[in-house]
């Protein structure tokens, strides 16, 4: 439910008066310290006050922002002359000072090059090289070559499918080469998806010799839950899972045609615009946890500032107010931080009352999900029931047994959507640690285990 303002609400003012929130809408844990979570990212969106927006990003635990200072045509207005707009430099400086990295998006056609309808490969490479000299690591986490070429500019201005695919591959190859001349290490990402990507790998593998990663935009679309992809095999697996979508793009097809895997970067995801605010928040966390556990280097939620009914921060008359999704991701970042490692092979058992229709571990898109992470000396577990969000039924009562566990001194659990602490009970039986009272429903529950030593 959207936050309700009352005439008697006390207002909290932050960052030059740009962030205004009603006291009765701010969760009790909103001001707790939040470390940056590796992999938690957003698409840039600054409204009329970049300082306020960046402050909110940092307080949410964002570690990376997908960003561009302006489109190509806004930087190269005369052939061979590149000027970064003041507004773009300003947001970059704010992100850098906040220790937030950027995925530098190099996009889109420049009509100075009329003979190629704005799609000159050599000119694009020179622009990419300039950008790599101007914006550098460690602030730059990766270079992203275009945005959704199957939707933007290539089909409209280059030609038929085979023609524009070849053109994109040429532009990616030349841009990657130009970037590598000035930056030998930072990942370079190509941005074709689904069958376009698979066909390009098959027909133009040499053009991806200097490409390190592939971009996915794994929107579930419509009312689908976070775990579901709208695509069918071979784009994803037989379950049409989001994890299968990531794996096909970064592992299966690159290994087949390039002989190697690529890293995967979800530079647009989320976009949940249906259902209650609590449902959207649950889906955001569920997508994030599945995505990073599956290897996504960045999980860039789109949009940051609400567009329509989707997003993380409302912009109400220039005043920025976090949504429930924002707070859910913030709580998740507190559990994860920057130094987590996914541990897929933890031996555990989850018993549920009532018993689920789908056994634990049998599906990525429905039924109980359990994800384990090592966070420094501690362990963190996320548990939920995948599939359509259910608000009118109580969650199943779960008992989580950790086999071959260390000696655990303390355990705490929280519903990261509502912020409520979960009163679980830990016992030791025959050398096994058992946690009872774990609610397994549509809202993800995070569990932190603190070993004795």
pLDDT in tens, 209-233: 999 999 999 999 878 899 999 899 9
pLDDT at 104 > cutoff 70: yes
Place 75 in a pLDDT band, splitting at 50, 70 and 90: very high
For the chain, what percent of residues have pLDDT higher than 70? Answer: 94
Place 337 in a pLDDT band, splitting at 50, 70 and 90: very high
Rounded Cα distance, 19 and 258, in Å: 48
Place 362 in a pLDDT band, splitting at 50, 70 and 90: confident
Q: What is the pLDDT of residue 26?
A: 86
Check the CA dihedral 6-271-238-417 and report its sign.
Answer: negative
Q: What is the pLDDT of residue 430?
A: 76
Contact of 61 with 40, CB cutoff 8 Å: yes
Q: What is the pLDDT of residue 432?
A: 87
Q: What is the pLDDT of residue 412?
A: 97
Q: Give ∠ CA 63-65-67 in degrees, rounded to 5.
A: 160
Q: What is the pLDDT of residue 6?
A: 29
Q: What is the pLDDT of residue 21?
A: 41
pLDDT at 288 > cutoff 50: yes
Place 361 in a pLDDT band, splitting at 50, 70 and 90: confident
Contact of 246 with 218, CB cutoff 8 Å: yes
Give the helix ranges, DSSP H, for 183-299. 194-203, 242-247, 253-258, 277-293
Does residue 24 or residue 365 have the better pLDDT?
A: 365
pLDDT at 20 > cutoff 50: no
Residue 99 DSSP label: T
> Mean of the pLDDT values across residues 253-278?
96
Mean pLDDT of the chain: 92
Rg (CA), the chain: 23
Rounded Cα distance, 84 and 136, in Å: 14
pLDDT at 23 > cutoff 70: no
Does residue 29 or residue 163 have the better pLDDT?
A: 163
Q: What is the pLDDT of residue 79?
A: 97
> Mean of the pLDDT values across residues 79-94?
97
> Mean of the pLDDT values across residues 408-412?
95
Q: What is the pLDDT of residue 1?
A: 28
Q: Is 426 helix (H, G, I), strand (E, B) or coil?
A: strand
Rounded Cα distance, 192 and 198, in Å: 9
Place 263 in a pLDDT band, splitting at 50, 70 and 90: very high
pLDDT at 12 > cutoff 60: no
Place 22 in a pLDDT band, splitting at 50, 70 and 90: very low
Q: What is the pLDDT of residue 7?
A: 27
Q: What is the pLDDT of residue 207?
A: 98
pLDDT at 118 > cutoff 50: yes
Q: What is the pLDDT of residue 453?
A: 79
Q: What is the pLDDT of residue 3?
A: 27
Strands (E), 245-339: 263-270, 296-302, 313-316, 319-322
């Amino acid at each position: 439910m959207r936050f309700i303002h009352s005439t008697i609400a006390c207002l909290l003012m932050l960052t030059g008066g740009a962030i205004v929130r009603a006291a009765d809408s701010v969760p009790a844990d909103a001001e707790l310290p939040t470390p940056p979570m590796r992999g938690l990212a957003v698409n840039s969106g600054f409204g009329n006050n970049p300082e306020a927006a960046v402050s909110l990003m940092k307080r949410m635990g964002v570690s990376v922002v997908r960003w561009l200072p302006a489109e190509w045509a806004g930087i190269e207005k005369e052939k061979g002359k590149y000027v970064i707009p003041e507004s773009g430099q300003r947001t970059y400086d704010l992100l850098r000072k906040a220790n937030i990295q950027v995925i530098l998006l190099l996009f889109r056609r420049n009509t100075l090059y009329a003979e190629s309808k704005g799609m000159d490969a050599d000119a694009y490479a020179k622009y990419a090289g300039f950008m790599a000299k101007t914006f550098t690591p460690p602030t730059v986490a990766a270079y992203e070559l275009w945005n959704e070429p199957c939707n933007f500019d290539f089909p409209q201005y280059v030609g038929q499918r085979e023609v524009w695919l070849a053109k994109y591959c040429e532009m990616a190859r030349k841009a990657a080469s130009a970037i590598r001349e000035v930056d030998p290490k930072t990942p370079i990402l190509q941005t074709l998806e689904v069958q376009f990507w698979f066909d390009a790998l098959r027909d133009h593998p040499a053009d991806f010799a200097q490409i390190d990663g592939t971009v996915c935009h794994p929107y579930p679309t419509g009312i689908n839950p976070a775990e579901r992809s709208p695509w069918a095999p071979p784009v994803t697996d037989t379950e049409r899972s989001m994890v299968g979508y990531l794996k096909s793009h970064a592992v299966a097809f690159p290994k087949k045609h390039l002989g190697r895997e690529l890293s995967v970067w979800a530079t647009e995801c989320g976009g949940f615009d249906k259902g209650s605010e609590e449902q959207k928040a649950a889906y955001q966390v569920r997508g994030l946890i599945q995505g990073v556990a599956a290897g996504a280097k960045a999980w860039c939620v789109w949009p940051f500032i609400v567009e329509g009914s989707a997003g993380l921060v409302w912009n109400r008359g220039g005043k920025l107010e976090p949504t429930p999704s924002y707070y859910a991701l913030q709580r998740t970042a507190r559990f994860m931080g920057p130094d987590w490692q996914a541990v897929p092979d933890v031996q555990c058992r989850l018993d549920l009352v009532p018993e689920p229709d789908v056994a634990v571990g049998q599906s990525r898109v429905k039924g109980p999900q359990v994800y384990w992470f090592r966070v420094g000396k501690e362990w963190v577990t996320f548990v939920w029931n995948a599939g359509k969000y259910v608000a009118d039924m109580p969650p199943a009562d779960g008992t989580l047994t950790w086999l071959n566990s260390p000696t655990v001194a303390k355990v705490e659990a929280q519903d990261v959507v509502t912020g409520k602490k979960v009163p679980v009970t830990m016992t030791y039986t025959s050398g096994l640690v058992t946690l009872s009272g774990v609610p397994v429903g549509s809202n993800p529950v995070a569990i932190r285990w603190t070993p004795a030593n």
